[in-house]
Structure 1
Amino acid sequence: MIAVFLVCLLSWCRSSAVATALPPPQDLTMVAINTNYTLRWNYKQSAALPNQVTFTTEFISKYMLTIKKKPPVWKPACKESPEHSCELTSFDLYYFSIYKLRVRASVNGNHSAWAFKEFCPDKDTGIGPPSSVKLTLAGYSLEVSIVDPLTSTNSSMKDYMADLSYNICYWERHEDEEALIMETISTNSNVVALSGLKPLTWYCVRVQSYTKYYNRSSSFTSPLCMKNDGHAPCWQILLIFMAFLVIVVPLVVLLAVGSFRCSRFWKSVFHPELPSFLIESRRDSTGGRSPQLITMSIESERLCDNMTVCPKSSVLETLSLLKESAAPPLGLNPDSRSLKVLHICF
């Protein structure tokens, strides 16, 4: 009976000593980049305590602590975890709110006092570097394509930081690091062309995110290097010239032929040619021959009673009539002979 009493008394004393000696966590620190949040702390474990110490982490909005009508309800984040950290990213903390965090240590049902930490994502969160950076050739320049830092839900950090900008640092690659001359461009654009570069030269680029409003900047991305283009090579010029010959020249020829045929068609419609026997070639003042219409004198107009246009089949008949009428009647001179009928055959 006395032995049982002594055992109980020893157990109670031991538990009291553990409870008294169990210290709270210390140096609570929030490691926050973009919207990824991790609470870390230190814990000095006494040699008299058991090796296994667990920790419980809880959080609550600071606004909820100001409500007096009902007691605050703390939300558990990590419960009885042996780790000296707790991940809070999955709880989707509102970026522009203020939170109260608390952590305590536990051993065999005994708990330490709470250690508290106030956290405001808007003020206490750091900014990460760009999610990705790519280099591409753009003529004789290098084009830098930047992807914004991303949140835990893969959205842009520009949703929370409207003035998010970038420092682009580039330099000509040298084996001697002391000879490096770095140049920096500040921009809020996601695509930037680096101009004024030397042809056929290797350049390296790294990018840093920063915001003036919060006065924060990220680390630089890993350097990316690419060789800049020089003047176009001969084979490329020859290829462009051949493409020009294959595509442009046939189009010009077809256009010229089509224009010529169209002009001949419209000329035949609006300016038809007269039969050759109605056109008389007359020498002009320069000695050349220009086509002229046959002119009829007043005297010959009087001698013609009528004109008939006949088909080709009556050519012989027309010629015979003209021969018979060629001899002048008695009492008329040759110049005064009259033609009763003039046949024109085609």
Structure 2
Amino acid sequence: MKLRGSEVCVSLLVCVSLALADWSPPQNLSVQSLNTQYVLRWDWADDQQSAINGTITFTAQYLAAFKSRKPPHQHNWMTVCADVLERRCDFTDAKLSYLGIYLLRVRANTAQHFSNWTNITFCPDKEADLGPPSSVKLTSVKGDLEIVIADPLSSTNKSMKTLVNDMQYLIHYWKQLEGYQKAEVLKTQNNVVTLSELDRWTEYCVKVQSRYDFYNKTSDFSDIHCTRTEGLIPYWQIFLYFLLSLGVCFLLGLLVWFSFYKVFKSFKSIFYPNVQLPSHIQELWLSDSETPHLLPPPSSGSVWDQLDMISTETDTVPDIQISIPEDQDTSVPSRHGSGDSGFNSTEEDSSLRQLSFTRHDTRTDTHTDTHTDHRCKTDMQHREEMHDGTLEICA
């Protein structure tokens, strides 16, 4: 297919016009700054040309304002960002003087084409925002509040007071119960401030902001810090503390005494148990004046006879056995030495009478015989402990 001459000329003119056409430059340039941190931002909305010509990058530069008065060929622009895809450029590391005035510019470009430059004037001392204090410390000292303020810091961690000599601080303080609406403001250039004439034992809150009056710049507030003021303790509180201490001491003493009593009682029950004597022994002790002693006082020449009584259901009278100690002479009639031979007969008659008295009808009173046998056996156990000169009589 062949083209006419006029068509060829028109197509060539269109191509040349597209190649030489100027792109729209970046718009809405602004600098976001805080102390000595500067970031240049811009907008660029020619997306149709970006789709046709490929990837679009941006270049940002700066020049001192006093150098802009020289001829254009002597302008020594310093490039900070070259062919960046983002629509921002950080000028913090460019070390711009805080008191200087600078021209900032940016353009859009590709590998073969670029747009016109867009310029903006920037003065850090006038336009850069002032930051709040880097730290605030609040302490209570003898009823007053002591505030220690640290200066805002630059990008190189230096005090901003070296760049802003007239910088001041606005201290806002208020009672926590009343709220910030009733806050009082104190302006000062000092880094250590003491708030006096405050209410004792009251919670106060403080926040601080930086202030530069020459350009009417005020920073954001610092964090809020609260503390309680001190003061002399009232007398009623001292008396109340005294009563509380007495009560605590009394309770502790009572607890110690109760613990000691429990421990003492436990040891006493272990080493000295409360064991009662049998009831029949207690009765003997209580009736000591009426009942003869279990063991009569021993005498050197006395001879005792032991009588054992055995009851049977038969009516036969058991034989009476009289045991005489072997160490005594059988020829001697008695220990009294009276020579009366009727002692043995008299004793035998009394034994027979006692036997006849105890031999009642066993069929009617069996309990009495059992008690008598038990008592007789008990007497035998006691009498067996006597010396060998005892006379035993078993019936």
The AA in structure 1 aligned to 2:87 is H
Any idea what the Cα deviations from partners look like across 1:134-163, whole Å, max 9, x if unmatched? 111211111111111111111111112211
- Distance in 2, Cα, partners of 1:18 & 1:163: 55
The AA in structure 1 aligned to 2:213 is K
| Residue in structure 1 matched with residue 95 of structure 2 by the alignment | 92
| Residue in structure 1 matched with residue 81 of structure 2 by the alignment | 78
| Residue in structure 2 matched with residue 37 of structure 1 by the alignment | 38
- Does residue 215 of the first structure (1) align with residue 216 of the second (2)? yes
| Residue in structure 2 matched with residue 120 of structure 1 by the alignment | 123
Any idea what the Cα deviations from partners look like across 1:52-75, whole Å, max 9, x if unmatched? 432110111122233349622211
- Does residue 131 of the first structure (1) align with residue 134 of the second (2)? yes
Distance 1:61 1:200, change over 3 A: same
Distance 1:21 1:62, change over 3 A: closer
- Does residue 171 of the first structure (1) align with residue 139 of the second (2)? no
Distance 1:219 1:69, change over 3 A: closer
| Residue in structure 2 matched with residue 184 of structure 1 by the alignment | 185
Instruction: Let me know the Cα RMSD of the aligned residues.
Output: 3.3
| Residue in structure 1 matched with residue 29 of structure 2 by the alignment | 28
Q: Is the 8 A contact 1:130 1:209 kept in 2?
A: yes
- Distance in 1, Cα, partners of 2:12 & 2:83: 23
- Distance in 1, Cα, partners of 2:20 & 2:141: 69
- Distance in 1, Cα, partners of 2:220 & 2:211: 9
Instruction: Name the structure where strand makes up a greater proportion of residues.
Output: 1
Q: Is the 8 A contact 1:62 1:98 kept in 2?
A: yes
- Distance in 1, Cα, partners of 2:16 & 2:133: 52
- Distance in 2, Cα, partners of 1:221 & 1:15: 60
Shift of 1:82: 1.3
SS in structure 1 at match of 2:74: coil
Alignment of 1:199-238 (within 5 A): 199-231=200-232
In the superposition, the TM-score normalised over structure 1's length comes to 0.59
- Distance in 2, Cα, partners of 1:14 & 1:121: 45
The AA in structure 1 aligned to 2:69 is T
- Distance in 2, Cα, partners of 1:151 & 1:92: 11
Any idea what the Cα deviations from partners look like across 1:36-61, whole Å, max 9, x if unmatched? 11111122133453274321101111
Structure 2 regions of 5+ residues with no counterpart? Answer: 4-9, 243-395
Shift of 1:13: 5.8
Shift of 1:18: 7.5
Distance 1:21 1:63, change over 3 A: closer
Q: Is the 8 A contact 1:207 1:220 kept in 2?
A: yes
| Residue in structure 1 matched with residue 159 of structure 2 by the alignment | 156
Shift of 1:93: 0.9
SS in structure 1 at match of 2:79: strand
Any idea what the Cα deviations from partners look like across 1:76-116, whole Å, max 9, x if unmatched? 11111111111111111122222111100123432111000
| Residue in structure 1 matched with residue 359 of structure 2 by the alignment | none
Q: Is the 8 A contact 2:134 2:150 kept in 1?
A: yes
- Distance in 2, Cα, partners of 1:23 & 1:147: 47
Distance 1:12 1:33, change over 3 A: farther
Distance 1:119 1:11, change over 3 A: farther
Distance 1:42 1:18, change over 3 A: farther
In the superposition, the TM-score normalised over structure 2's length comes to 0.52
Of 55-64 and 106-115, the range deviating more from structure 2:
106-115
Q: Is the 8 A contact 1:172 1:180 kept in 2?
A: no
Size of the aligned set, in residue pairs, is 231
Of 48-57 and 149-158, the range deviating more from structure 2:
48-57
| Residue in structure 2 matched with residue 198 of structure 1 by the alignment | 199
The AA in structure 1 aligned to 2:34 is I
Q: % of aligned pairs identical?
A: 36
SS in structure 2 at match of 1:29: strand
Shift of 1:228: 2.1
Structure ID, larger Rg: 2
Q: Is the 8 A contact 2:22 2:116 kept in 1?
A: no
| Residue in structure 2 matched with residue 101 of structure 1 by the alignment | 104
Distance 1:10 1:93, change over 3 A: farther
- Distance in 1, Cα, partners of 2:24 & 2:71: 30
Any idea what the Cα deviations from partners look like across 1:307-338, whole Å, max 9, x if unmatched? xxxxxxxxxxxxxxxxxxxxxxxxxxxxxxxx
